[in-house]
Amino acid sequence: MLDAHTANPGDVSWAEFEAIAPCEIHPRTPLAETVARCAGAQVVITNKAPMTREIIAALPALKYIGVIATGFNVVDTVAAKERGIVVTNVPGYGTPAVAQHVFALILELANHVGHAAASVRDGGWVRCPDFCYWDHPIIELQGRTLGIIGYGGIGSAVARIGAAFGMKILASKRSWKEKPPAGIEAASVEDILKHADVISLHCPLTDDTKHLINARSIELMKKDAFLINTGRGPLIDEQALADALNAGRIAGAGLDVLSVEPAKTDNPLLTAKNCLITPHVAWASREARTRLISACAANVRAFLARKPENVVNP
C-alpha cells in the first residue's frame, strides 16, 4: 500500500487487508521510491500515488492495482491492460459524507455560522449595543431553487437533502433512462445556470465538462447565486470564478476541490471574495473511510477469487 495515510491516518483498522496476505503499508511514497517498494508485489494499492506506464513496466510480478478511491486517473489503465493487470476502484463509498459536506458549504454561505462564531469570539457581541447583530445577509433555503449538474449517486443524495429544506430541485443528467423521481425536474445545464439559486456540481471531469463553469456560463447565473463544487477542480475556470466573485457577479462559492491540489499560493480563489474552500475533505468522514477500506479489501478478495469487481480497465 503506497499512500495509506489519507485513507487511514490511524483511526481505522487494516485488519481486512492483513487477513488476505502479508501487507507492507506506507503512509506516503515519493515517486522515485515506488518501484523499489513495489518490487516483487503482485498486488499494489494506491490512492494518489501514480502508477505510470514506466512504473508498471518495471514491475514484472504485478498482477493487480487497487485504487483506494473512486477516481483512477493516477493509473495508466491502458498500460495495465496491455500487461493483463486488473485495475479496480471503489465507487459510491462517500455519498452520504459528500452530500452532507455540500450542505455544510451551502449553510455557511446562507447562515455564516462560522463567521458569526468567530466574530463573537473576537468580542463583537460583547461590544454590541443590541441583543443581536449580523453583518451578512441571512438567507432561507426554503422556496429557493437547487440546481444539480450531474444527477448520479451523490447528486441524487444532495437532491433529497435539498427537498427536505423545501427547495425546488432542477437536475441535469447525460441521459434520463427513466422519468426523474417525483419532485425532481429534468433541466438542461443552461436552464440550471439561468434559474438556480444554488448550483452544485457532480458531473464527471471529461473533455466536455472541463471549465464547464467559465466566464460565459457565469454570465448566465443569477447575481445572488451560490456555486458549490465537491466534484473535480477543473470543472471550474478558477480565474473566471475569482473575477466574478470579486466583481460581485455572483454571491458566493463553496469549494472542496481545486484544479491543483494541494492548493498553490497563486490560486486566485484563495483570496476571492465570499469564497469558502475546504481541503478536499468532503469524502473523509470516519464512516466513509471505513466503507472505503472495506470495499477495497473486498475488491482484492474478488480478484483473488478470479471474479474481479469494479474493474475500470476491462
The owner of cell 493483463 is: 84
C-alpha 185/C-alpha 22 separation (Å) is: 51
The answer to whether the CB of 300 falls within 8 A of the CB of 17 is: yes
**Cα 42 off chain centre by:** 30
The answer to whether the CB of 282 falls within 8 A of the CB of 102 is: yes
The answer to whether the CB of 252 falls within 8 A of the CB of 87 is: no
C-alpha 217/C-alpha 223 separation (Å) is: 12
Backbone angles phi, psi at 214, to 5 degrees: -140, -175
The answer to whether the CB of 64 falls within 8 A of the CB of 43 is: yes
**Which one is catalytic: 24, 261, 287, 309?**
261
The DSSP letter of residue 248 is T
261 an active-site residue? Answer: yes
The answer to whether the CB of 260 falls within 8 A of the CB of 253 is: no
SS3 226: strand
SS (H, E, C) 204-221: CCCCCCCCCECHHHHHHC
**Which one is catalytic: 144, 202, 232, 291?**
232
Edge-to-edge strand list for the sheet holding 43-46: 43-46, 64-67, 86-88
SS3 124: coil
The answer to whether the CB of 155 falls within 8 A of the CB of 200 is: yes
Active site residues: 232, 261, 280
